[in-house]
A and B are shown apart, each in its own frame.
Chain A
């Protein structure tokens, strides 16, 4: 499997799943542009890729701001050309039980996790349509299908991403563009480190594999979907969750 000659854009690539995805795509030969919300984050991406001997760099982009997406894409297109692979990974959580959820918690999660996917996808489509080749891979979540107390906003956004992806897949499939989701379960990242021991224990009890996933185990599935071998897979959500939920 090779991604030689491809340019990939990975949002939220400074840590966790996004970082693992960026490194995996780069390992397979793609030039990877990773986004972070700060200069420090972008520099960490650049350094991380460089230290590993990979092609690519970090840029500053806040996916919750349309202007920032536009500026970031312009920067990368001038430097590396338009992306043929887009991985929408950037995301946030603002957990609270619905009765206590604030409008701002709802809006910011929908904006960052769902509207951003609409915006970045739209921005890269023309280039992909012209090239008659493209891969859009959206990182969803197991909770999109399962539901999760305290995550009404997050579950809504992620389920929205999956519906959006299926529509996009149908619109663009005759242009050689595929759109798919990867839905991670309980992965060992900063996002899941926020959970306390009790929550963690309860999670482990419902994971047949009996352990958390490694970000690299998500990245390898993303890499497959980005490859030529996955050309006929589109509109799909692939679960990566140690058996905890099977759609």
Chain B
């Protein structure tokens, strides 16, 4: 079983069409990985599916970086 970190990074790569080597824990989805507003919505939906959880909009807005997403998932699943 992969770790949360690995699973999150895999989804980020799939959704944003970036290479694994480009994705650091500190990477910002918008500034570093080039996500637009639709990308971030799709990313959140993909995370919800992968981790079978629901991320409320006000929480989703705070997920700015890969580490933010990992922390949220660890704390809520």
Q: A residues bordering B, Cβ < 8 Å?
A: 126, 129, 171-172, 174-175
Q: Give the A-B contact count at a CB cut-off of 8 A.
A: 9
Q: Which residues of B contact A126 (CB under 8 A)?
A: 42, 45
Q: B residues bordering A, Cβ < 8 Å?
A: 36, 38, 42, 45
Report 9 cross-chain contacts, Cβ distance below 8 Å, ordered by A residue.
Answer: A126-B42, A126-B45, A129-B38, A129-B42, A171-B38, A172-B38, A174-B36, A174-B38, A175-B38
> CA A126 – CA B41 in complex, angstroms?
10
> CA A172 – CA B37 in complex, angstroms?
11
User: Chain B interface secondary structure, helix, strand, loop or mixed?
Assistant: helix
**Which residue in chain A gives the minimum CB-CB distance to B37?**
A171
Q: Which residues of A contact B45 (CB under 8 A)?
A: 126
Q: Which residues of A contact B36 (CB under 8 A)?
A: 174
The 8 closest A-B pairs by CB, nearest first: A129-B42, A175-B38, A129-B38, A126-B45, A174-B36, A126-B42, A174-B38, A171-B38
> CA A174 – CA B45 in complex, angstroms?
19
Q: Which residues of B contact A171 (CB under 8 A)?
A: 38
> CA A171 – CA B36 in complex, angstroms?
11
> CA A172 – CA B38 in complex, angstroms?
8
Q: Which residues of B contact A129 (CB under 8 A)?
A: 38, 42
> CA A172 – CA B41 in complex, angstroms?
12
Q: Which residues of B contact A172 (CB under 8 A)?
A: 38
User: Closest CB of chain B to A190's CB: distance in Å?
Assistant: 40
Q: Which residues of A contact B38 (CB under 8 A)?
A: 129, 171-172, 174-175
> CA A174 – CA B42 in complex, angstroms?
14
Q: Which residues of A contact B42 (CB under 8 A)?
A: 126, 129
User: Closest CB of chain A to B36's CB: distance in Å?
Assistant: 7
User: Closest CB of chain A to B43's CB: distance in Å?
Assistant: 12
